[in-house]
Structure 1
Amino acid sequence: MNNIKNQFSIKDLENLTGIKAHTIRIWEKRYNLLEPKRTETNIRYYDLKSFQKLLNVSYLNNNGYKISKIAKMKEAEIPQLVREIAAETNLESHAINAFKLSMLNFDQALFYKTYSSLLKEKEFKAIFYDIFIPLLTEIGLLWQTDTITPAHEHFITTLIRQKILINTEIIQSKQTNKSTKTFVLYLPDNEIHELGLMFINHQLVSKGYHSIFLGQSVPIESLVELQNYYDEIIYLSYFTVRPLKEDVLNYFNDFSNLVIKKPNTKFWVLGQILNDVDINQLPQNIKTFNSIQSLMEAL
């Protein structure tokens, strides 16, 4: 069964571009900017070409160009002008749009081309903070609203994962660890969203720390063994969907009772699940963070 999405409703376009459906309809009727198609049952839809054009039109509009002027441009002039503006200003917005288009078209070449262009202006750390984090946030919302399929999400996150791994390996191959602290990075049972944790691992390694990355779905019991190998451990995890909100405090208590056996052992956690947790109820030696940036600043 083919679940790949190549037809978009006006609501999909609103979710993907941030432009209200009402505005899209006005642009369509008044300026003929888009030409919706119809299914055999006479339902209106937009194709990938329409989505790409709307992204470009929105980009120009946000950079001071009036819709009336954009509407008079030839089709080929619009993307050319977008490229010229992106080369001078607002690189982040243009790159995020390009990555979205890459995702929707399953276009690896566009992903690599966009990433290579970014590398000319930014280091990998800045690309992740300025481009990938906002992009991943948008992708999460698009998935929740059924605008994209899981196939789209897996496609783009796999490519981002590759870049994190490559950049981490480059640092590790050149670095000699001298840190007395050991960071153990893992995700709890049934948690598979590891990109944030992978980037934290990259940042720890780049700062010279000894980092052990265990990855997805690790039971608490299996973490105890590491106490026999290292004297000063900071366990670090990222709660995106697991444990469930109602189970978080019990998870922390279990972790404290089973794993935190030595005074130099700590547990650092971040993730959206923690938004509803009263941090004043947390056991000693457990600390939470509201972002990757705040965690890095605590080092």
Structure 2
Amino acid sequence: MNNVKSIFSIKDLENLSGIKAHTIRIWEKRYNVLEPMRTDTNIRYYNTEALQKLLNITMLHNHGYKISKISKLDDAKINGMVGEIISKKSVGIHAVNAFKMAMMHFDQTLFIDTYDRLLSEKSFPEVFYEVIIPLMEEIGLLWQTNTITPAQEHFISALVRQKILTNTEKLQSIPPRRDDRLFVLYLPEGEIHEIGLMYLHHEILRHGFKAVYLGANVPLSCLADIRKYFDNVTFVSYFTVKPLTEDIDAYLSKMLGEIIAPDAEVWLLGRNTMALEKEKLPPRVSVFGSIDHLVKEL
């Protein structure tokens, strides 16, 4: 695809590989592992092949191979050694790199092939915890450093959402085996970061509970309808960008006092909840530091 970015700065390589720029320069000068091209003003730049080679070298280096040894290998040998690592089911790092390459080139086929290979060896929850979460964390950093475009972030996020939905749909056809609690999942107004909440929906269903998924950008007033239909409700939400940290107390006060039933609970995750003092939270509100912490509560 000639309209896809195929030229990368050394800072892009640092962000994508995790290897510091000065280390990349040392590897180039001392071991000749990469051959950068240069602009008319003598600024380094790299093509897709150089990026892929650096990712492979990084994988070997992370598995204990010294750069002095790697530098003596040709590309075919490096690729073969990476293949051997993957065949031994150490696929996590490679899968994250493959997903990043799929994102950079809007390559849906590479994403699906990588995902299918993962799923042939791991359960979907294992894939999510071991690969998808690290991938999404890296994507956040890549977006912040302008290494990727918003379009690339949306592309890979849409594919991840698609896989979560596919696996969730399989569980939705199974009758709940637990009726002691109903979970209602939603994101507040202005909040659109939905992948974590979508995966929690999958986990709640997997644990046998009934769940109502309302989705993103839900006005607080909409939650009032729930009390008309259900008892023993636990609301689950992510506060990543909204409500703002300084507005959370007022938001929860209104939610608990006016909107939801007196016996309903609220479980929260997300960046904006991290500043909350847990000992000062209302008794019906619980804050979790991560998805797996919440899942353990199930």
Which TM-score band (shorter chain)?
over 0.9
Provide Cα deviations, 1:68-119, integer angstroms capped at 9, x if missing partner: 2222222222122101112115221111111111111111111111111111
1: CA distance, partners of 2:185 / 2:176: 19
TM-score by length of 2: 0.95
Partner of 2:270: 271
Provide Cα deviations, 1:36-90, integer angstroms capped at 9, x if missing partner: 1234554321122111110000111121222222222222221221011121152
2: CA distance, partners of 1:87 / 1:176: 38
| Alpha carbons 2:5, 2:105 under 8 Å: kept | no
- Structure 1 residue runs of 5 or longer lacking an equivalent are none
Segment drifting more, 172-181 vs 47-56 = 172-181
Output the aligned Cα RMSD.
1.7
Partner of 2:58: 58
Report the residue type matching 1:279 in the other structure: K
Report the residue type matching 1:293 in the other structure: D
SS of corresponding position for 1:258: helix
Residue identity (%)? 52
Provide Cα deviations, 1:222-268, integer angstroms capped at 9, x if missing partner: 110110000111111011111112212221112112223322x1111
Q: Residues 9-88 of structure 1 correspond to what in structure 2 (within 5 A)? A: 9-39=9-39, 41-88=41-88
Report the residue type matching 2:274 in the other structure: N
SS of corresponding position for 1:216: strand
2: CA distance, partners of 1:25 / 1:117: 34
Partner of 2:294: 295
Change in CA separation of 1:44 and 1:297 when aligned onto 2, cut-off 3 Å: same
- Structure 2 residue runs of 5 or longer lacking an equivalent are none
2: CA distance, partners of 1:254 / 1:17: 45
Partner of 1:109: 109
Q: Residues 99-248 of structure 1 correspond to what in structure 2 (within 5 A)? A: 99-176=99-176, 178-248=178-248
Report the residue type matching 2:273 in the other structure: L
Structure 1 runs (4+) deviating above 4 angstroms are none
Segment drifting more, 239-248 vs 134-143 = 239-248
Question: Given the alignment of the two structures, is residue 255 of structure 1 paired with residue 245 of structure 2, yes or no?
Answer: no
Segment drifting more, 47-56 vs 177-186 = 177-186
